[in-house]
Structure 1
């Protein structure tokens, strides 16, 4: 069984990694979507609160998360 949620990027920041050779650390903060569309209303009814906090040193991965962008998150038991 899996669960799908929909989250919005509310913050993106970059800072230098302590090991300078590894470049930047990208920090991405996401929160569940609220309103703005019938689909978002349905997701909000199921997940009214929560947070996801990600950090990556992969520049390509970090660039995928645009501020204000909405993303589906699928949770599947491993």
Structure 2
């Protein structure tokens, strides 16, 4: 079984060598009918911190951007 969560980019730190750190947290909305409220109530919460040395990959994560995160068993 897979679980899909939805996270929002809260911080992007870029380094002189082109590396980047991306910090994400679960989406939330006070409107119980919104997609973000439904995701918050139904899926895992926590923090996601990504690191990459690939500049093109890092550029995909804009501050405030929202992303689906799929957790699928590897075995």
Q: After TM superposition, is the score higher than 0.5?
A: yes
Q: Which runs of 5 or more structure 1 residues have no equivalent in the other structure?
A: 17-22
Residue 58 of structure 1 corresponds to 54
Supply the distance in 2 between the matched residues of 1:60 and 1:36 (Cα, whole angstroms). 34
Alignment coverage as a number of residue pairs? 72
Give the TM-score of the pair, scaled to structure 2.
Answer: 0.87
From the CA coordinates, give the structure whose radius of gyration is larger.
Answer: 1
- Considering fraction of residues, name the structure with more helix: 1
Task: Give the root-mean-square deviation of aligned CA atoms.
Answer: 1.6
Q: Which runs of 5 or more structure 2 residues have no equivalent in the other structure?
A: none
